[in-house]
Amino acid sequence: MRHARAARSLRLRIFATVLLGLLAAGLIAMLAPQRAAWGVDPTQMPTPELQARYSGLTHELRCMQCQNEAIADSPVDLAADLRRQVHDMLVAGKSDEDVRDFMTARYGDFILFRPRFAPKTAWLWLAPGVLLLVGAFVSWRIVRARIALVPADNEPLEEDPSR
Amino acid sequence: MMNRFTLPAALFVLLVIVLAIGIKHSPDKGAIKSPLLGGPAPQFSLPNLTDPARTVSSAGLKGRWYLFNVWGTWCGECRAEHEMLLQVRRAAVVPLIGLDWKDDDAQALSWLAQLGNPYEVVAVDRTGRTAIDWGVYGAPETFLVNPQGIVVFKHVGALTPDVWTRDILPRVAPRGAVKS
């Protein structure tokens, strides 16, 4: 009986560890995109809806000069010009997709922090999922192999005869 | 029977290859490829720096080769390439069309008066709107446009004799018809 219990507690411990890991990852992912409320950009859009779209777009367009900053956060001149372009296009009634098309037609896909799903970028989007599945499969194999090491149905072997 | 190290080793080699490709293609390693290449040059119509009453327009440039050079007096690298631009002018193989990007007209004029003017004509882009159309992200940038108005080459950074003889001259004057 004790071995069955030992196997169960081992399984429990593995699941607890995996669960904790996932929780930690989720927590990090949730905290990461928090942006500083203050910024270099005081632009006010006429409506809250436009303001939200403006903020979204300027955060997903790369500052080509500084490269690791979004145009929303960059103090350089070109970023300000591109922000004004986004502002003008949204006020003129253009869609978010129009703005992205406008930018990629001039600066290439590199200007988008979130690349679009296309044959060229498919691996980029699919690789994490594929790697996760491979990892899950490998862990499952390992866990199965380890559990098999613990005999489950031979109670008498370690039963203490003196009791 | 495979050694138990075979699979990890194979995966490691695969990872190295993937990362090597990634590093080699990293945009930080060089200029970002312009989507304008192979397509028509952006349209523009801007004031002429030396004669503000007149305009410089893309339509007026059609039918011949030209080098479209984006510069500004605030740009240090532009000063570095200026001597090369003067050489290009002297070579008289292809005209230089300047785009004075987000600059002060008076400063631009005195820059040209002091250092020499390599440009056939300079268009003034005070708002930076035309530079955006050309996908400019850092001066100096130089575009080579063919007589059909197609952008065939782009160079980011100071123009050098190397770029001139390797990338520009062979396109404009194939078979070495013109000496540099």
A95 touches chain B (CB under 8 A): no
Q: What is the pLDDT of residues B121-148, one digit of tens each?
A: 999 999 999 999 999 998 899 999 999 9
Chain A residues lying within 8 Å of B133, measured CB to CB = 106
Report ipTM for this prediction. 0.80
Inter-chain CB proximity A77 and B102 less than 8 Å: yes
In Å, what is the CA distance from B84 to each residue of A77, A87, A103, B13, B168? Answer: 27, 39, 31, 45, 13
CA dist B91 and B82 (Å) reads: 14
Nearest CA in chain B to A104: B35
Quick one: pLDDT at residue B3?
77
Binning pLDDT at 50, 70 and 90, where does residue A37 land?
very low
- Output A9 or B96, whichever has higher pLDDT: B96
> End-to-end CA distance of chain A, in Å?
15
Q: Which of B128, B140, B154, B141 is nearest to B76 (CA)?
A: B140
Cβ atoms within 10 A of the Cβ of B142, count? Answer: 26
Whether residue A10 has pLDDT greater than 80 = no
Q: What is the pLDDT of residues A49-71, one digit of tens each?
A: 999 999 999 999 998 888 788 99
B156 touches chain A (CB under 8 A): no
Q: Is the pTM of this model over 0.80?
A: no
Quote the percentage of chain A above a pLDDT of 90. 42
CA dist B124 and B49 (Å) reads: 6
Q: What is chain B's pLDDT, residue by residue, as a tens digit (180 residues)? A: 567 888 899 999 999 999 998 888 765 555 678 899 999 999 999 999 999 899 999 999 989 999 999 999 999 999 999 999 999 999 999 999 999 999 999 999 999 999 999 999 999 999 999 999 999 998 899 999 999 999 999 999 999 999 999 999 999 987 655 444
Quick one: pLDDT at residue A66?
80
Q: SS3 of A160, please?
A: coil
Quick one: pLDDT at residue A153?
66
Angle, alpha carbons B41-A79-B67 (nearest 5°): 25
Per domain, the residue ranges of chain B are 1-30, 33-176
Per domain, the residue ranges of chain A are 2-30+122-151, 54-111
Quick one: pLDDT at residue A18?
82
CATH number of B33-176: 3.40.30.10
Supply the DSSP string of chain B, one letter for each residue.
Answer: ---TTHHHHHHHHHHHHHHHHHHHH-GGGSPPPPTTTTSBPPP-EEEBSS-TTSEEESGGGTTS-EEEEEE-TT-HHHHHHHHHHHHHHHHTSS-EEEEEES--HHHHHHHHHHH----SEEEEESSSHHHHHTT--SSSEEEEE-TTSBEEEEEES---HHHIIIIIHHHHSGGG-S--
Quick one: pLDDT at residue A22?
85
CA dist A36 and A21 (Å) reads: 27
Amino acid letter for position A63:
C
Buried b / exposed e along A120-154 (16+ C-beta atoms within 10 A): eeeeeeeeeeeeeeeeeeeeeeeeeeeeeeeeeee
Quick one: pLDDT at residue B25?
75
Q: Which fold has domain A54-111?
A: Helicase, Ruva Protein; domain 3 (1.10.8)
Residue with tokens 């159309």: B133
In Å, what is the CA distance from A70 to each residue of A98, A147, B42, B81, B117? Answer: 18, 49, 25, 30, 37
A77 touches chain B (CB under 8 A): yes
Specify the pairing of strand B96-101 against strand B66-71: parallel
Q: How far is B36 from chain A (nearest CA, A)?
A: 7
Q: What is the pLDDT of residues A102-134, one digit of tens each?
A: 999 999 988 998 878 888 778 888 999 999 999
Quick one: pLDDT at residue B30?
59
